[in-house]
Amino acid sequence: MKPVFSRLSFSFASHRWQWLKFGFYLFYFFLIQIINSPESFTHFAAITSVYIVVVGIIEVNQYCLHLCFRRERYLIASLTLVSSYSLLAMITFYVLHRSDNFIATEIWDRQFEASWGTFMPTFSKLYWTFFKYAVILFLAKQVLLIFRLLPFSDAAKLITVPETKAALSDQSDKELTAQRDREVENALPPLEKVDRSNERWDSSGLLPVRVGRVTYILDVFNIVYLEVHDDTTTVYQKDGSDIAVKYPLSKFYNRLPKGRFVRVNESRVVALPYVWKDNDGHIYMRTYEDKGLKLGRQDKFPEYKEWKDRNKLK
């Protein structure tokens, strides 16, 4: 009973991350108001303004952490962090010391000298305190992501065929490929078998994508969905990571197995085994349950509706 309860709890938590984060912010809002005991509406509004700044610091720093540790864009993360810190410091200094407003009156003690030397240590302490909050929330999301992946990580796991000399001597390369494909199909969630009659990826499930002098090696069984913006296609994978390449979505789609991938609108292609649910004109993919993907016109993109009707997806 306890393991079942734990799985349900973690499933709820991971699928509702945005609501959990909103609950945390709401709790902190009431906490900061209770601690400061506002004596007037002006004092309440000033504390609320500080709270909004605090939430902004936490959100920006979570974004920087995501860029750094999930997308490995270290330069962009560093520039975003430094620029946000510097810009917020200048704006805050101006609001508190260079203008006459209710926030400065309620928050800052006018007896202190209005100088950068006095202001910066206090601001830095505030900023890095809430940077630690961002780290805590980022780590909490990663832990929930791990528990989200557990229920179907085994189901979507690739099964490798041991390439022993005995196996190679008994079976041809073609037979090994067919055996591996059957094992992969059986391991995937029981939604629909994959038609590989029109595939353009190799027998190991790897899809090489050459962009200029760079070649990306993608695993078709690891792709949850693809999304294009301008001339860049982002490939979202089952481990929560994504890869952005300057490669047309139409070319991607033509090279993917048609029984596994379908186009649902002009800008997105989804992997059918990872479809989680269909609701109000949007579909939700496993690992990305909090992001609804809008469906296109059924007459223009009929493949998804046909698959949905066959599998009686609700």
Long-range contacts of 246-251 (CB under 8 A, 24+ apart): 246/211, 247/209, 247/211
Give the model's confidence band at 16: pLDDT under 50 very low, under 70 low, under 90 confident, else very high: low
Average pLDDT over residues 33-51: 84
Range in 13-22, 65-74, 137-146 with the lowest mean pLDDT: 13-22
pTM above 0.85, yes or no: no
Range in 69-73, 100-104, 158-162, 174-178 with the lowest mean pLDDT: 158-162
Give yes or no for residue 203 having a pLDDT over 70: no
Residues 24, 134, 82, CA angle at the centre, nearest 5°? 145
CB 14 within 8 A of CB 286: no
What pLDDT was estimated at residue 270? 93
Higher pLDDT, residue 97 or 249: 249
Give yes or no for residue 301 having a pLDDT over 60: yes
What pLDDT was estimated at residue 13? 44
Give the model's confidence band at 296: pLDDT under 50 very low, under 70 low, under 90 confident, else very high: confident
Give yes or no for residue 188 having a pLDDT over 60: no
Higher pLDDT, residue 38 or 26: 26
3-state secondary structure the chain: CHHHHHHHHHHHHHHCHHHHHHHHHHHHHHHHHHHHCCCCHHHHHHHHHHHHHHHHHHHHHHHHHHHHHCCCCHHHHHHHHHHHHHHHHHHHHHHHHCCCCHHHHHHCCCCCCCCHHHHHHHHHHHHHHHHHHHHHHHHHHHHHHHHHHHHHHCCCCCCCCCCCHHHHHHCCHHHHHHHHHHHHHHHCCCCCCCCCCCCCCCCCCEEEEEECCEEEEEEHHHEEEEEEECCEEEEEECCCCEEEECCCHHHHHHHCCCCCEEEEECCEEEEHHHEEEEECCEEEECCEEEEEEECCCCCCCHHHHHHHHHHCCC
Range in 22-26, 116-120, 154-158 with the lowest mean pLDDT: 154-158
Structural domains in the chain?
Answer: 2-150 (no CATH), 195-311 (2.40.50.1020)
Mean residue pLDDT of the chain comes to 75
